Amino acid sequence: LLWFRMGALYTWLTGVFLLAAKGHLAGFGIYTTPWGINILIGALLGTYMFLNVWLIIWPNQKVVIQSANQVLAGGQPLPEAAACGAKAGLASRHNTLFSIPLLLFMGMASHFSYTITAASLWPMWIAIFVITGALECNAIKGKLGPMTSVRGVIHCGLALSAVLFIVVKLLT
């Protein structure tokens, strides 16, 4: 489990470093271009994923591991272990959900262009934060809904990709 946490941390820190370096070299105005917008959408989703690993999945997995160790030692399972396992699983499924549009937007950065007006940036970002923020709230306190199966998670990820793509297209 350490591997996953450190992988998330390393990936996120590397991304922040690369974003800062690109902004320093090319000027931070690059993040108002189609390339920059697509990269930042991917970075936002990656940030949610990083935070899910460190603030939801890992703390809840520690409880599940502690419960399993107690049972192995002949003790009783922790009563909250099942709920903690479900919370970790929900956040993990949201990470899979977020990974699909993350890959789409990061890939689109160099291969998909569109026209942007300065006035369209705020409405677009507000819509993206509302949509992704609602999904992140579901990762924190929600239910699986249609994500009870791998197929459901993939379909939800594809739907989120389509919705975010439409938001970017319509609001830029």
Q: What is the DSSP string of 48-72?
A: HHHHIIIIIIHHHHHHHHHHHHHHH
Write out the residue range of the structural domain in which residue 167 sits.
2-171
**């922790």: which residue's tokens?**
78
| CB hemisphere CA count around 70 (13 angstroms) | 12
Domain total in the chain: 1
Q: How far apart are CA 110 and CA 146, in angstroms?
A: 32
Q: Tell me how far CA of residue 53 lies from CA of 24, 79, 84, in angstroms.
A: 29, 23, 14
Residue 153 dihedral angles phi and psi, to the nearest 5°: -65, -45
**Residue 79, amino acid:** P
Contacts of 157 (CB under 8 A, 6+ apart): 96, 97, 98, 99, 100, 101
99 vs 122: CA distance, rounded Å: 24
Q: In degrees, to the nearest 5, what angle opens at C-alpha 156 toward C-alphas 152 and 157? A: 115
CB under 8 Å to 32, separation ≥6 — which residues? 116, 118, 121
Q: In a structure prediction context, what are the per-residue pLDDT tens digits for the chain, which is 172 residues long? A: 788 889 999 999 999 999 999 988 888 888 889 999 999 999 999 999 999 999 999 999 999 999 999 999 999 999 999 999 999 999 999 999 999 999 999 999 988 888 888 888 999 999 999 999 999 999 999 888 999 999 999 999 999 999 999 999 998 8
